[in-house]
Structure 1
Amino acid sequence: MSGTDEVLDEADGRGNGVIDAPPLCLADLAPGARATVIGVVADGEPTVVRRLHDLGFTPGAVVEVVRRAPLRDPVLYRVKDYEVCLRRAQAACVHIGGTAR
């Protein structure tokens, strides 16, 4: 058996176990959840990216969802020892990984 066959067997025959799923965004988190920022992307809006970076949403920063407004927008987040309120459209630009409760 070659090394490639072993990888296929370990992943139940579905390839190497890598799933091409879109990254989660900050807007997907439920209140009380925490996650680590992996990047900020806003198609065609460099000012939005710059503003989010200035607010502390930088790669490696841990963000916690504090609470959500009754109609789900805006949402209060805790990042780098302070709280900031973002609309869902802005929070969707912040890609996250490593979610934990």
Structure 2
Amino acid sequence: MSQSIPMRQLKVGQRARIVSVSAGGELGRRIRDMGLVAGAELEIMGRAPLQDPVALRLKGFTLSLRNNEADYITVEAV
């Protein structure tokens, strides 16, 4: 089994599967509403010049996520 890491540590082009989302309340709901739920696979598409935000591909669409939001998401590389 692959080691779980924070999503922020993924490199551009790397694919991963979400293990857990630890955010609660409104932020947790927003993250899950975007499709970022346990079991979902994603790929890091790019990062802004200052590394924030990160663009990721998930279920056929691209979304942008701030690093402070990504810190609540634990993934394992696939």
Q: What is the aligned residue count? A: 76
Q: Name the larger-Rg structure.
A: 1
Quote the sequence identity (%).
Answer: 33
TM-score of the pair, normalised by structure 2: 0.90
RMSD: 1.4
Provide, for residues 17-76 of structure 1, a one-character-per-residue CA deviation record: whole Å limited to 9, x for no partner. Answer: xxxx8x41111101000100011012xx41111111110111110010000011100110
- Runs of 4+ off more than 6 Å: none
Alpha-carbon separation, structure 2, partners of 1:79 and 1:52: 12
Q: Which amino acid aligns with 1:36?
A: R
- Which has more strand, going by share of residues? 2
Letter matched to residue 18 of structure 2: V
Which of residues 22, 41, 49 in structure 1 aligns to 2:22? 41
Q: TM-score, normalised by structure 1?
A: 0.70
Gaps of 5+ in 1: 1-20
Work out which structure has the larger RCO, using CA pairs closer than 8 Å and 6 or more positions apart in sequence.
2
Q: Which amino acid letter does the alignment assign opposite residue 29 of structure 1?
A: L
